[in-house]
Amino acid sequence: MARDLIDLLWRDHPGAPRGGARGPRGRTTTSDVVDAAIARADGEGLAAVTVRRLAGEVGVAPMSVYTYVGSHEDLLVLMADAVLAADATPATPSYADGPWRERVTRVAEANLALGTRHPWLLDVTDQRLALGPGAIAKYDAELAALEPLGLGDVDRDAALTFVLDFAWSAARARRGADSVERMAAEWAASGARLAAYLGERHPLAQRVGAAAGEAQQAAYSPEHAWRFGLARVLGGLAALAPADDGAPDGR
* 75 burial level (CB within 10 Å; 0-12, 13-18, 19+): buried
The CATH 1.10.10.60 domain(s) of the chain lie at 5-85
Q: DSSP state, 200?
A: T
- C-alpha distances (whole Å) from 126 to each of 42, 81, 240 are 19, 11, 31
- pLDDT recorded at residue 236: 96
By the 10 Å C-beta count (0-12 exposed, 13-18 middle, 19+ buried), 18 is classed as exposed
For the chain, the straight-line distance linking the first and the last C-alpha, in angstroms and rounded, comes to 56
Quote the pLDDT of residue 218.
59
Q: Where in the chain is the domain with CATH 1.10.357.10?
A: 92-250
Residue 200 pLDDT level (bands cut at 50, 70, 90) = confident
pLDDT on residue 24: 43
Write the secondary structure of 133-176 as one string of H (helix), E (strand) and C (coil).
HHHHHHHHHHHHHHHHHCCCHHHHHHHHHHHHHHHHHHHHHHHC
d(CA 209, CA 203): 10
pLDDT over 60 (residue 90)? no
User: Is the CA virtual torsion 26, 29, 35, 41 positive or negative?
Assistant: positive
Among 38-47, 65-74, 157-166, 194-203, the range scoring the smallest mean pLDDT is 194-203
pLDDT digits (tens, 9 = 90+) for 58-71: 999 998 999 999 99
Cα(71)–Cα(86) distance, integer angstroms: 22
Assigned architecture for domain 5-85: Orthogonal Bundle (1.10)
Predicted confidence (pLDDT) per residue in 95-131, tens digit: 989 999 999 999 999 999 999 999 999 999 999 999 9
> Vertex 39, ends 33 and 43: CA angle to 5°?
145
- Fold annotation for 92-250: Tetracycline Repressor; domain 2 (1.10.357)
Q: Within a 13 Å sphere around the CA of 235, how many CA atoms are in the beta-carbon half?
A: 7
Share of the chain above pLDDT 70, in %: 82
